[in-house]
Amino acid sequence: MSALFSSLDLGPLTLCNRIVIAPMCQYSCLDGNAGDWHFVHLNQLAMSGAGLLIIEATAVEDIGRITLGDLGLYSDDNEAALAHVLEAMRRFSSMPIGIQLGHAGRKASSHVPWQGGASLKPEEGAWTTCAPSALPHAQGEPAPVALDDAGLARIKAAFVQAAKRAQRLGVQLIELHAAHGYLLHQFLSPVSNQRTDAYGGSLENRMRFPLEVFDAVRAAVSRDVAVGLRISATDWLEGEAGLPSWDVEQSAVLATEMAQRGADFIHVSSGGVSPLQKIALGPGYQVPFARRIRQACGLPTIAVGLITEPAQAEAVIAEGDADAIAIARTILFEPHWPWRAAGELGASVEAPPQYWRSQPRDLKAVFGPDARIGQR
């Protein structure tokens, strides 16, 4: 039996296999509202045969958007627009649906990637960003406003309200975004957090606000909803210009604290807090981070990062490096990657009956025994 296609429990949520569709920003919304692009994009992914789909980074307040095109869940209009998309997804797929809630902090107010990703100018609709400290992400960018107590309370409340909206929408998993240089990661890393109050300095202090947000969200939603965290395991800045930075051992401490607070999973990525980062890219380059964090905290752990081939994904699970693998760009390029993985690993996936006739005759088990009807 394939390890990749075995079931997995993430707290109250059971996945039929261990392939997770990672959250992937589409930058295609108007005022935070999902529209026709999301209807097409997410419904396609919902029929891919993966075990879980996590909707892209979703801003908890309007100034927390990376770009003007970001998805949001901070208004009634946002909630209604996403409800329309989710209703269609559920008509044709039983795949569990999660959502990633986040705040861009000092990386907000930017152009979409295919327009270069630089900070917006005032005449282009720029807004004032916020962060733990008044430090810009990159040289030449506007400095953010350092959050005061009122700002911290506002953002924590925004996470809670977005989580409540997600639960009303029937989302089964909430992933808090503390990776890739966005606000919660900005608090964790000494590169971006140079506060001298209770939210800066020591590791305990730098973890304080992300943990407060987690606790508030966990308390606000039902235990039927899985809640976890996505982290950057390292800033990839070790030895760079003498900068103190965030690393895998600090990540292990955070993950252990999350486990003690009742987290249901942890999703391990890396980088994003500084343009000085030097990432050692290669197949599965982030898997060792997932392994270390899984060993430290015991939480179900999701690995990501250039996991592109079924045999490679199978090995990550079979060897105990992680409990699930997440794919992102790979599934954008090949939306039915789990079908191919099932065929290569001798497993089966759920697929709509309209597609049963598509399976190659030498892979008759990919869609399960009922799919043989479609071969007639």
C-alpha to C-alpha distance for 312 and 326, rounded to whole angstroms: 12
Dihedral sign of CA atoms 57, 63, 69, 74 in order? positive
Q: Which residues contact 117 (CB under 8 A, 6 or more apart)?
A: 110, 111
Quick check: 302 and 265 in contact, CB under 8 A?
yes
d(CA 70, CA 321): 33
Here the contacts of 280-283 (C-beta below 8 Å, separation 24 or greater) are 280/236, 281/306, 282/306, 283/307, 283/308, 283/312
Active-site hit among 27, 74, 182, 199: 182
- Contact assessment for residue 275 and residue 138, using Cβ atoms and an 8 Å cutoff: yes
Report which secondary-structure segment, H or E, holds 86.
helix 76-92
Strands 145-146 and 130-131: parallel
Q: Taking the CB of residue 61, how many other CB atoms lie within 10 A of it? A: 22
First-last CA distance in the chain? 28
Alpha helices (H) in 122-221, listed in sequence order = 149-168, 183-188, 203-220
H or E element: which one contains 341?
A: helix 337-345
Pick from 174, 159, 297, 308: nearest CA to 233: 297
Is 182 a residue of the active site? yes
- Residue 57, CA distances (Å) to 9, 72, 317 in order: 23, 8, 26
Block residue for tokens 């998993």: 173
Catalytic residues, which ones? 182
